[in-house]
Amino acid sequence: MPLVHALWSPGRGLLLWAEHDRRPAGTSSRSARIALSHPFAVSSADLTALHPGKPTSVTLLLPSRANRPLASTELRAGARRRGPAPSLRAWSVPALVVDAAELDDLDDSASYGASVTHLRAVAGLAAELVGRGRVLPTLLRRGDAAEARWRPVLQGVDFVAFDALVAAMPPVGRAEQIAPLTGASPRALVTDALHTLVDAAVRDRLARAEPPVDLRGGPGPAGAWLSALQGGDPRLDLPLAELRVLADAVAKWDEVADTDVVDGRACFRLAEVTTLRQPAADDPDDQTGDGTKWQLQFLLRATADPSLLLSAGQIWAGEANGLVRDPRGLFVAELGRAALVEPVLAPALRRTQPSEYDLTVEEAEHFLTSGAKRLLDAGFEVQLPATWDGRRRLALRLSVRSTPAEQVVARTRVGRDELAGFRWSIAVGDDELGEEELAKLVAAKTPLVRLRGRWISVDAERLRAGLEFLRRDPARQSPHPTAAELLELVHSGVETPLPVTDVRADGWVGDILAGRVQQTLRPVELPPSFRATLRPYQQRGVSWLAFMAALGLGACLADDMGLGKTVQTLALEAVERADGRHLPTLVLCPVSLVGMWQREAANFAPGLRVSAHHGGARGHGDALAERVAAADLVVTTYATATRDAGELETFTWRRLVLDEAHAIKNADTATAKAVRRFPAGHRLALTGTPVENRLADLWSVLDLLNPGLLGSRFEFRQRFAVPIERRGDTAAAAALRRRTRPYLLRRVKTDPAIVPELPDKIEIRQEYRLTREQGTLYSAVVEEMMKKIEDSQGIKRRGNVLAAITKLKQVCNHPAHLLHDGSPLGDRSGKVTRLEEVLAEILASGDRALCFTQYTEFGHLLVPHLADRLGTEVGFLHGGLAKGARDAIVDRFQSGAGPRILLLSLKAGGSGLTLTAAGQVLHLDRWWNPAVENQATDRAFRIGQRRTVQVRKFLCPGTVEDHIDTLITKKRALAGMVVGEGENWLTELSTDTLREVLTLGEDAIDD
């Protein structure tokens, strides 16, 4: 991947050039005064493929050695430089002249250096100065030629920002050769860039201003200068004598711009001027505003004495002389700067001595609602009438009445008319408006109206549409909506002509919106047949599940692993069976959890009739129908449910339970499509990782529970996934939390209510070193695989990247794991040697250990080796075992009669199991997905654990494993924002970045 650099070339503007990360052959020796062609610069053709621009070339002074330029330090970060000190030599480089406005529109197939970031910052300062009006017109003279230009005004903190940009310029940003063996100074380059960018930005702003701004003057030098300030051609063709007069006049503005201390700032006062009568005195509720004229008055506030506020009349009359330095020049400069920020001021400035400006009602409304804020943001002072209330806007209010949450849970069935109802109204702030007041506002036909003694802004057309909306009364179309319809209305609203700024709700709707429904629900009374003692947070969870079921809303119980999602579900089933509900519940889970559901039900809810639909002997046709009719819970696997979907969809289920619901995170899989076809009165997802890899996982789960809740996949991606995942948009994340909160209950082990009931967890970075054999194999794999990666594209390249990562992780495990030659393990692996030492310590302490590996083959290699070295039995739970064998291993380990060391393959043993007999968890080869790794750890770190759990994560410094902690930390941030990808994202890394990630470090091998 090429590295793109940027530099500012006076007279040409922004230039981009790029270099490849490859070692060129040495060039012939020539004089350092001759600019040679840069041997590994990107060609003009390749540059234009990366970014549009005009091809050119530039001569750069670059550090060189042995007749060739050194690669950028950004390409060779951390590389050691050996040999003599480099010298500067001239090199000719292909470049592109590009528009600075396009610096944010760059190609992802290239990397961009610090010089690009620096020039983006310069362009950002230019845009900020223009936005705040910190610019002035000037006259730029070059001999007898002259140009009308806009220049930046640097004062106060802007000086600091400018100096910081000068100090921060990267060396490559000043590499252009200006004179033999010299380049331009950073201050000169930043100054030229800032002035040029400011001039371009002001002209663009004037061209796009609404309403249009016309600076064109009359005849004479001043008129020509004003015209050149606005047009595309800045050149002035004037006699020399006229140029001198114009330059002398403009110089006074330059003096103001070049001062570090401003003596004053403009103040704009919007005043109500009575012409015929005062509406508030005769009729406080008069909406027409007759008798009021809006006038914008211009003043100047002294900086040295803020109590001194000078009117325009005082300034023009000379009364401000001596109070402020050059009051007229300063006042004109401030007004000119303000006109750039708020174009409505431009007509007033055409007057000889502007003092005030009469506004139309439309202009006054514009100034009140937007212009005043722009001026304030630019540093001006604005005074608005006391009768103006900008916070009070016409808006729709939605009032919702609903039954208390307790009544919803207490009733077996809740009718539609008992759930809730809603009513729309139009309000201004806290005041709801009646039909007569609304009719007067419509009749006023003015954007500014006086309502109850205060001025407000009104869009007459939108108000008329709002009235029609109320008269249509959306409530009549669905006077008693379902819970799902009502929540959709509250969260998304319907298409309304006025914004919905207020939702007032009571009962269960208010509890859900405020996030307090868990606190308002009393614990559900469990039947005597239920044998478990629930913890307080579990009692609240069962009540919440019963509440959601009564409303007919799909629910996602997203408690952390180990907090008892299964027992809460069984409690809900027991409560409903005690109420006489007999339709069976279908439970879908991984094959390793079928036995767990049977055991947990037998232990805690023996009154529930459980039937397992799994294996070759499972029933079909009438036999299946009989088993379903005789069961309360039918437990099956996702794979079996997919194969038998045609039969299972013919039954009406009371509830569909999706255990380890991330199994349907991809909505396009056959499993996810099959599950959507199963009819159920209530749908419940159980998962500790609602966001496992990306936000699409969350959409897939919640859309299955409540179809249409988050819109289509495309709508969800545009509204939430892209802003949150790519830009870290906290507002979008907050909106998504609000939208999903009613349907998702998540408690984590760090919650204050949960922490006292859990053990401590200590994470340890368990380092080791490779043996010489491992180091040799590692380097050989990197060399071989990088060649394949560099020579491949698309799917083939992605496959090569994943293959390289797999091979390197196998090397780190053991050479025999990579070679698949069945050779003895011996002392050939630093990881295995360190594992033996750690396990020996654990056994000596009397503890038990879980050892997770993602490779079943590696587990088979370890079992006999560890048993021999440690002199103890080593168990191994993996996907190749039958269900009965798996259950036996788990039971033996938990009972204490089995092996004290249990190896587990990550897929087979990483979720669903309770293995609290272990106080030690070892991750032998790291996984790229933090959710999967945490699930594995939670086999021991869960309710029922009475000891501190130690989690040891093996890694070798200087190898691919050494980067995992950083990568995992970055991935955790996404899930935390809302309630993240497996290894596939690695395939999109650049070849250069991959080489840095995979290359063996010097400290990786044990000497």
| pLDDT single digits (tens) 646-661 | 999 999 999 999 998 8
SS (H, E, C) 929-944: CHHHHHHHHCCCCCCC
Q: Which residues contact 719 (CB under 8 A, 6 or more apart)?
A: 711, 732
pLDDT at 495: 61
Q: DSSP readout, 577-617?
A: HHTT--SPEEEEE-GGGHHHHHHHHHHH-TTS-EEEE-STT
What's the pLDDT band for 874 if we cut at 50, 70, 90?
very high
Mean pLDDT of 319-324: 83
Pair (540, 628) in one structural domain: yes
Predicted confidence band of residue 460 (pLDDT cuts 50, 70, 90):
low
Residue 288 has pLDDT above 70, yes or no: no
Range ranked top by mean pLDDT from 10-19, 262-271, 438-447, 945-954: 10-19
Gap between the Cα atoms of 691 and 7, Å rounded: 42
Q: What is the 3-state secondary structure (H, E, C) of 483-543?
A: HHHHHHHHHHCCCCCCCEEEEEECHHHHHHHHCCHHHHCCCCCCCCCCCCCCCHHHHHHHH
Contact indicator for 300, 266 with CB cutoff of 8 Å: yes
> Among the ranges 802-816, 838-852, 951-965, which has the highest mean pLDDT value?
802-816
Q: How many CB atoms lie within 10 A of CB 709?
A: 22
pLDDT at 515: 61
Give the percent of the chain with pLDDT over 70. Answer: 77
Q: Of 754, 782, 811, which residue sits at a domain end?
A: 754
CA 426 – CA 429 distance, rounded (Å): 10
* Mean pLDDT confidence for 902-912: 81
Instruction: Point out the domain boundary residue: 703, 732, 754.
Output: 754
Reported as a pLDDT band with limits 50, 70 and 90, residue 160 is low
Q: Mean pLDDT, to the nearest integer, of 631-654?
A: 94
Residue of higher predicted confidence among 716 and 433: 716
Angle at 295 between CA 294 and CA 298, to 5 degrees: 155
Token readout for 946 is 């009475």
Q: Is residue 226 part of a domain?
A: no
Q: Is residue 690 part of a domain?
A: yes
* DSSP summary character for residue 443: H
pLDDT, mean over the chain:
80
Report the pLDDT value the prediction gives residue 413, as an integer from 0 to 100: 45
| Residues making up the chain, counted from first to last | 1007
CATH classification of the domain holding 791:
3.40.50.300
Q: Given a cut of 60, is residue 361 above it in pLDDT?
A: yes
What pLDDT, in 10s, does the model give residues 176-231?
Answer: 987 665 667 888 999 999 999 999 998 888 888 777 777 666 678 888 888 888 87
Model confidence at 72: pLDDT above 70:
yes
pLDDT tens figures, 496-511 = 666 665 666 666 666 6
Dig out the tokens for 86 from the structure.
């480099």
pLDDT of residue 580: 77
Q: What is the pLDDT of residue 32?
A: 44
Residues 6+ apart with CB under 8 A from 434: none
The pLDDT score that the predictor gives to residue 279 is 46
Per residue in 753-807, pLDDT (tens digit) is 776 766 677 787 787 889 889 989 999 998 888 888 888 888 888 888 888 889 9
Among 383, 402, 435, which residue terminates a domain? 383
Is pLDDT of 60 > 60? yes
766 and 715 housed in the same domain = no
**Mean of pLDDT values over 434-462:** 71
pLDDT at 864 over 90: yes
DSSP per-residue string spanning 7-64: EEETTTEEEEEEE-SS-PPPPPP--TTS-EEPTTBPPHHHHHHHS--EEEEEEEEEEE
**Crossing angle (nearest 10°) for helices 327-341 and 240-257:** 90
User: Of the ranges 50-64, 159-173, 265-279, 417-431, which one carries the lowest mean pLDDT score?
Assistant: 417-431
Q: What is the pLDDT of residue 756?
A: 72
Worst-scoring range by mean pLDDT, 30-34, 386-390, 444-448, 462-466? 30-34
State mean pLDDT over 532-537: 88
Instruction: Please indicate, yes or no, whether residues 415 and 377 belong to a single structural domain of this protein.
Output: no
Distances (CA, A) of 567 to 53, 596, 686, 888, 915: 64, 11, 11, 22, 16
Per-residue confidence (pLDDT) for residue 981, from 0 to 100: 44
pLDDT at 509: 63
Angle between helices 695-705 and 964-978 (to 10 degrees): 40
| pLDDT for residue 960 is more than 90 | no
User: Do 829 and 911 have their domain in common?
Assistant: yes
147-156, 537-546, 618-627, 884-893: which has the minimum mean pLDDT?
A: 147-156
Q: Domain for residue 978, yes or no?
A: yes
- Say if residue 211 is preceded by a cis peptide, omega within 30 of 0: yes
CATH assignment of the domain containing 662? 3.40.50.10810
Same domain, 476 and 553: no
Neighbour tally for 37: CB within 10 Å: 11
The CA distances from residue 474 to 126, 232, 251, 431, 489, in Å, are 50, 53, 65, 21, 11
More confident residue, 937 or 541: 541
- 258 domain residue, yes or no: no
CA distance 935 to 941: 9
Residue 956 pLDDT greater than 70, yes or no: yes
Domain presence at residue 1004: no
81 within a domain of the structure (yes/no) = no
Examine the domain organization and report whether 148 and 27 are in the same domain. yes
Same domain, 491 and 535: no
The pLDDT tens digits for 112-157 are 888 988 999 999 999 989 888 888 888 888 777 888 899 998 865 6
In this model, does residue 164 exceed pLDDT 90?
Answer: no
* pLDDT above 50 for 349: yes
Please indicate, yes or no, whether residues 195 and 316 belong to a single structural domain of this protein.
no
Residues 463 and 542 in one domain: no
Average pLDDT of the residues in 388-407? 63
570/539 same-domain check: yes
H runs (alpha helix) in 65-142: 114-131
Instruction: Answer for the pair 19, 42: CB distance below 8 angstroms, yes or no.
Output: yes
Look at 711 and 750; give whichever has higher pLDDT: 711
Identify the domain containing residue 352 by its residue range: 264-383
pLDDT over 60 (residue 412) = no
Residue 13 within any structural domain of the chain = yes
* Residue type (1 letter), 313: G
Which amino acid is located at 920 in the chain?
Answer: Q
**pLDDT-above-90 percentage for the chain:** 21
The answer to whether residue 982 scores a pLDDT higher than 60 is no
Please give the Cα distance from 422 to 494 (Å, whole number). 13
Domain membership of residue 243 (yes or no) is no
- Within this chain, do residues 769 and 745 fall inside the same structural domain, yes or no? no
470 and 523 share one domain: no
Across the range 405-409, mean pLDDT stands at: 58
User: Tokens 């559900």 map to which residue?
Assistant: 524
Provide the number of structural domains found in the chain.
5
- Is residue 703 scored above 80 in pLDDT? yes
User: pLDDT (tens digit, 9 = 90+) per residue, 558-597?
Assistant: 887 668 899 999 999 999 888 777 799 999 998 767 878 9
